[in-house]
Structure 1
Amino acid sequence: MIGRLTGLIAEKAPPLVLLDVNGVGYEVDVPMSTFYNLPNLGERVTLLTHFVVREDAQVLFGFLTAAERETFRLLIRISGVGPRMALSLLSGLSVAELAQAVSLQESGRLVKVPGIGKKTAERLLLELKGKLGPELGHAPVAVASEAQADVLQALVALGYSDKEAAAALKALPADVGVSDGIRMALKSLSK
């Protein structure tokens, strides 16, 4: 319904921003990642928004980047995760950090965010797996050769995490063959 607002910042009180759009003041809740990057009071800003209508309230959530808004929308689709919890997650972790935590299945990073318990963190990791694209996550593991890329792919296919596979790959000689590389990597991972 309301997808974007451009106006002057009239007030800032975390996580709330009052945006003056041609004389109409919109109260917009923003994650701290957006809040810290807002310009000063009286300056112009454009926020991408997500409008939530409930029985008891109508709330606008604002974001400086499309990646933040898209991640927010992914989060609120998960059972048990409401807009406030999604805002809290985006305040505690950047989109890239969240994508990395999901790709590496690190529930410990999510539990550090206020309001996120162990069960919620595990559900988030499960629900978001594969949905936060590589453009939002960590950089791909650097491989020295095509053989090492094949070894990495084989380890991931065997169920090892990206982090474990990358650590095993670092221990391999650069000129290793695929079959020898897999054997050596499995040996180092079994220790």
Structure 2
Amino acid sequence: MIGKLKGLVDSFGEDHVLIDVGGVCYEAYCSGKTLQALPRVGEAAVVFIETYVREDMIRLFGFASEAEKAWFNILMTVQGVGARVALAILSALTPSELSSAIALQDKAMVGRANGVGPKLAQRIVTELKGKVPAIGAVDAGVLGLQAALGEGIAGGNVADAVSALTNLGYSSAQASAAVARVVAKEGEGTATERLIRLGLKELSV
């Protein structure tokens, strides 16, 4: 099986890239975020690969990071999520944002992806609660939030605090990390207003 490709970017398609490895071009289907992260045609690139083999085809899926590849495989364990939907989710959310959405049970965030309706978004956050790829690339703040809250399901006060901080312009990963640090010190029963205030202090450090 192919685990990683190192070569030159040959060309781009709407949903895939061709990587030239020693004169052999491999076609890898990618998320929008991976395609945007790749260098220009003719430049060196490294793409992490998941190989799918079926009776009628062999298809390569490419990822910019091990975290994205890991989330792709985790998403595929959910009923109703195939490769196309998994790539759509990873096109809409970074691995850290997806980790935050699962930790906070935020189906609306997952529902941003094309082809993901409310019911499927709910199934994804429910079935994947507490499941985070066991690799260092996943946002440490999100892991801290999940550890602080047990199974990875945030209480209403925590979810509200993270939402308030993101509304102020901070990313989901930043907000989750800040609230995680506050929860670790103050406890998960801390009032929403206090979580927001102390979270802002954490973000200003």
- Number of equivalent positions: 159
Q: CA deviation at 1:171?
A: 7.2
CA distance in 2, matches of 1:16, 1:170: 43
Amino acid at match of 1:109: M
1:169 aligns with 194
- What's the secondary structure of 1:36's corresponding residue? helix
Q: CA deviation at 1:126?
A: 0.9
- What's the secondary structure of 2:182's corresponding residue? coil
Does 2:24 match 1:24?
yes
1:143 to 163, 182, 186: 182
TM-score (norm 1): 0.75
CA distance in 2, matches of 1:54, 1:118: 30
Does 2:87 match 1:49?
no
2:89 aligns with 89
8 Å contact from structure 1 (residues 30, 63) kept in 2: yes
TM-score (norm 2): 0.70
CA distance in 2, matches of 1:82, 1:170: 38
Q: Give a deviation string over 1:64-85, Cα, whole Å, max 9, x none.
A: 1110011111111222211111
CA distance in 2, matches of 1:127, 1:13: 33
Amino acid at match of 1:66: E
Cα 1:169–1:18 change in 2 (3 A) is: same
Could you list the runs of 5+ residues in structure 2 that have no partner in the other structure? 143-175, 199-205
Q: CA deviation at 1:113?
A: 1.0
- What's the secondary structure of 2:37's corresponding residue? coil
* Larger helix fraction of residues: 2
8 Å contact from structure 1 (residues 14, 35) kept in 2: no
- Percent identity, aligned pairs only? 37
Amino acid at match of 1:6: K
CA distance in 2, matches of 1:84, 1:171: 37
1:37 aligns with 37
Could you list the runs of 5+ residues in structure 1 that have no partner in the other structure? 156-164, 174-191
- What's the secondary structure of 1:139's corresponding residue? helix
Q: CA deviation at 1:132?
A: 2.0
CA-based RMSD of the aligned residues comes to 2.3
1:98 aligns with 98
Q: CA deviation at 1:14?
A: 2.6
Runs of 4+, deviation exceeding 6 Å? none
Bigger-Rg structure (1/2)? 1
Cα 1:168–1:34 change in 2 (3 A) is: same
- What's the secondary structure of 1:27's corresponding residue? strand
Q: CA deviation at 1:125?
A: 0.3
Alignment of 1:107-146 (within 5 A): 107-132=107-132, 135-136=138-139, 137=142, 138-141=176-179, 142-143=181-182, 146=185
